Structure 1
């Protein structure tokens, strides 16, 4: 198919270097015509994730060199298609994972990277579960494999991934203990988890009181020294799923070192004959080996999550919504750690 009319100008947010949120820059540039296999996606909603908070510090593992446009995922409407792309995609809504580049009014994407969004799901609602939903689904079902009747611990149960993970676990018949600051306990309880104050010096002791026989899985995005205690919470046959190192986000030095230390610990734990296992979840694992199978798995899992949203089984947790031009304020709010759920960016003025 030949390409249709395209928007000639894109507005985007640029991260120029290691700057405070107010150092983000707004720019416009010409948008190229889509090449073969590509589409133009008009952004309807994107979001602020922990990745952007690390990227502005130069601390995100494998981030591109500065300057670049942040934005890990996007929901939008196809406005034009390039050669070899079905023109019927035009006017339809899709979600995509970008890693960077989504903080923009329009994006050029490969058509193969798009996952359809059900008509009954609002763009902002869908945006809350793109990366967060796939991450939560894959960690729970593909990595930990926890069955109905099990018990899990979700650190940061009020966050984007955490709140989604709590709901998916509860839907699967799993008991959840979720850590969060006390101001978020009512929200965590409403999702179906038993809250524990993450500021309590004896947080892990409180969790042991709730699960004296150990738990089937711990989902830990914090890393650092506390990951040892997460490991100790597991019963025989339990699984630790580590998926970040938030505890080290403000440390100077290599962005890769904290992750490499985690890899070392995980390898050491997995060599022990105690019936427990540990994994580092990497959203991008397998993409370089076989992009097609990685994308197929991502679309399958995202479609499952979007169906749960459409049915009302999974309630999107939207903390706040900002126009794209106010990305600095959105990032500042995200870093304040005072809100529950995901902060959404929409086109706006």
Structure 2
């Protein structure tokens, strides 16, 4: 008798039977509610289909997107109820047909837009990016959506070069803090807006800070860069986008990537974005050599999924490498268990912490 085969078969059967008794935990956003309105629910662990895998979540984050979603203000969020969670990092626990079985056990990251706030997440295998050795799950989590966004805006959209000067709104925020570090690593001079309590930390990164709460940001920027800046990264939206456009030097680039100023507004959630798009189209029609873009991390996916995935994999790999080299740091504001997602969301929205609020199983 082949005892090795029998042992392997027995272990496989036991693992399968154990998986049937496991339950997954997920956090559900039932509608427009306060953070304490989030619901923690139990459900069956998903089974992977062809081309899919199941990730046992080790870390997921609270980003600005979830803050907008709970208000019903995110541009293309799904209908309620749904499980929020823009990205996650975890171990592959099962693979479906057509997926290399040796992926099981590996730590991967995935950008999912929704669904990340769960103990077990079903994803397409092609959307999983392996996390390099030496990075913890929480460290990697801090730079998935924030890192991809920052890298692509800086290097693909604005195409900054060493010696140039850029203005980063929200320089101490999730995306902004990664962006300023990547810019400095590329030899770019950075002016960053933030509240006064973040200024010393920004100076330590080589950033010239401006307090957006007092004074005139546009006037102060012109003092620091009389000829204009080569790029502005604006997540604020509204009037800020117009001011940002006028701060550009000849040949400069405006990258708008949000409408944070309208987070608490009522009415259409699409209108603020449509206004920005209309302005970028108008400005790009002007013969002045400056360019305006509205950055969307999902742009191009519907047209060419393979190209989208290849670009995302390449860019996240670059971000992970920068993290390993120490060019960017993993700023973790707090780590809370998934069951305390309401507390984590309230903390992230408070504006009192620096870095990413991370949820763990």
Which position in structure 2 is the counterpart of 1:45?
A: 59
Query: Is the deviation greater in 3-12 or in 226-235?
Result: 3-12
Structure 1 distance, partners of 2:84, 2:202, is 29
Q: Does structure 1 residue 303 correspond to structure 2 residue 317?
A: yes
Which position in structure 2 is the counterpart of 1:74?
A: 88
Q: How does 1:225-304 map to 2 (within 5 A)?
A: 225-304=239-318
Which position in structure 1 is the counterpart of 2:334?
A: 320
Structure 1 distance, partners of 2:72, 2:327, is 37
Residues 55-83 of structure 1: CA distance to partner in whole angstroms, max 9, x if unpaired?
01111011000000000000000011111
TM, length-normalised to structure 2: 0.94
Q: Which of 126, 137, 153 is 2:167 aligned to? A: 153
Q: Does structure 1 residue 123 correspond to structure 2 residue 137?
A: yes
Which ranges in structure 2 are unaligned for 5 or more consecutive residues?
A: 1-11
Q: Does structure 1 residue 90 correspond to structure 2 residue 90?
A: no
Given that 1:21 and 1:331 are in contact with CA atoms closer than 8 Å, whether structure 2 keeps it comes out as: yes
Query: Is the deviation greater in 266-275 or in 216-225?
Result: 266-275
Q: How far apart are residue 96 of structure 1 and its match?
A: 0.3
Structure 2 distance, partners of 1:22, 1:64, is 20
SS of residue matched to 2:239: helix
Q: Does structure 1 residue 27 correspond to structure 2 residue 41?
A: yes
Residues 102-145 of structure 1: CA distance to partner in whole angstroms, max 9, x if unpaired?
00011111111110101101111100110100000000000000
Structure 1 distance, partners of 2:38, 2:183, is 37
Structure 1 distance, partners of 2:144, 2:46, is 26
Structure 2 distance, partners of 1:313, 1:32, is 38
TM, length-normalised to structure 1: 0.97
CA RMSD of aligned residues (A): 1.3
Residues 165-224 of structure 1: CA distance to partner in whole angstroms, max 9, x if unpaired?
000000000000010000111122222211110102312111111111110000000001
Which position in structure 2 is the counterpart of 1:332?
A: 346
Q: Does structure 1 residue 183 correspond to structure 2 residue 200?
A: no
Structure index of larger Rg: 2
Which ranges in structure 1 are unaligned for 5 or more consecutive residues?
A: none
Which position in structure 1 is the counterpart of 2:223?
A: 209
Structure 1 distance, partners of 2:359, 2:352, is 18
Given that 2:193 and 2:209 are in contact with CA atoms closer than 8 Å, whether structure 1 keeps it comes out as: yes
Structure 1 distance, partners of 2:305, 2:328, is 28
Residues 9-53 of structure 1: CA distance to partner in whole angstroms, max 9, x if unpaired?
110100000000000000000123211111110001000000000
Given that 1:163 and 1:191 are in contact with CA atoms closer than 8 Å, whether structure 2 keeps it comes out as: no
Runs (4+) of structure 1 moved beyond 2 Å? Answer: 2-8
Q: How far apart are residue 161 of structure 1 and its match?
A: 0.4
Structure 2 distance, partners of 1:320, 1:162, is 18
SS of residue matched to 2:322: helix
Structure 1 distance, partners of 2:101, 2:28, is 31
Structure 2 distance, partners of 1:190, 1:319, is 18
Q: How far apart are residue 249 of structure 1 and its match?
A: 1.0
Q: Which of 25, 28, 52 is 1:14 aligned to? A: 28
